[in-house]
Amino acid sequence: MAPSCGGSSPLPRRARRAAARRYQGRAAARRRQGGAALILALMVMALATLLATQLMAAQDDFLSQVHTERDLRQARLLAQAGVDWGRAVLQEDLANSSVDHLGEAWARQVPAIDAEGGQIGGYLRDALACFNINDLIDDVNVIDREMLAVYVRLLDRLGLDDALGPRLADWMARAGTQGGRGQSGAKAYFALADLAQVPGYTPEVLRRLRPYLVALPQRTAINVNTADAVVLGAAADLSPAAAAEAVAQRQTSWFRDTAEFASRNNCRLAATRLWTVQSNFFLARVTAVVGDARVITTALLRRQPGLDRVEVAAVHYGNE
């Protein structure tokens, strides 16, 4: 029987449905692949952005470090220039004066001034205005009783235990005799940091003592023209009132020699090796600021009259 002209075969319908399903499957696969590709592209873009951000941050850190190091070097150069200025001032004073007092040019503080892209300021201080702990033992590491008496008076004026004096002197004499500080039999020298090893020298005691002590590489006397009332009173065995009066006197007329100091202040002690009016050790403190870098340089300057020069005996860099 011939098929009807108006009908359709069932096989073509199934074929069309299968073709439609295959088309839909391929379309879905293409959509899934397109979505995966889009996600991958977004991930690549995010990773690239992250890497670029990290590279820029690293570059910024590197440039910041370079700038900081540059500023730090420049600040140190400025600080060194300040120390050299201090040397020049002391050199000129050495040539023109035989008495050191607080009315001289070296004693004037220099306020912060602009210089070389930054600021610099500082001051000089007479190291002989303080008690030199290395005076407590003599050239053969035996306790110097006269200087120990000065130190005990200093402790007393500061309200500290008098026993701290003999304790320190005994410790220094033993340490010097036992060696380990230079050649055997030679004079031993100590730093202020060594005091922390001595029983009783607590951080609080050291904090109170620090403004009045110095550690110098030779034995020295105390300059009666520059020491404050506490140190001056201890050195000359003056009462607090008498020491304050001596400080007031020298503001208008400094002491030309130790004999004049003793006479004008009715000292119970005669003019002795404990005092001087000449100083050859000074502390230079210079603050230099360039950008974010701040350098504080403390230098011990030593005048050598016989050689007509001023040398840097020690130097320390810090930021406070």
Range of the domain at 105: 72-127+281-318
Same structural domain for residues 244 and 167?
no
Pair 109, 89 in one domain? yes
Q: So what's the pLDDT on residue 62?
A: 54
Q: Are residues 298 and 286 part of one domain? A: yes
Q: Is residue 54 domain-resident? A: no
pLDDT score at 2: 45
Please name which of 128, 228, 198, 136 lies closest in space to residue 173, comparing C-alpha atoms. 136
For residue 212, the model assigns a pLDDT of 98
In a domain, residue 162? The reply is yes
Number of domains in the chain: 3
Contact 130, 212 (CB under 8 A): yes
pLDDT of residue 56: 65
The C-alpha atoms of residue 141 and residue 155 are separated, in whole angstroms, by: 22
Q: Are 269 and 234 in contact (CB under 8 A)?
A: no
DSSP H or E run through 48: helix 10-96
Contact 237, 246 (CB under 8 A): no
CATH value at residue 185 = 1.10.40.60
CB distance 311 to 302 below 8 Å: yes
The number of C-alpha atoms within 13 Å of 2 and in the hemisphere containing its C-beta is 3
Q: What is the C-alpha end-to-end distance of the chain, expressed in Å?
A: 115
Query: Scanning the structure block, which residue is given the tokens 């003019």?
Result: 271
Residues of the chain with pLDDT under 70: 1-11, 13-36, 38, 42, 46, 49-66, 179-185, 271, 320
For position 122, what pLDDT does the model report?
A: 94
Provide the whole-model pTM: 0.78
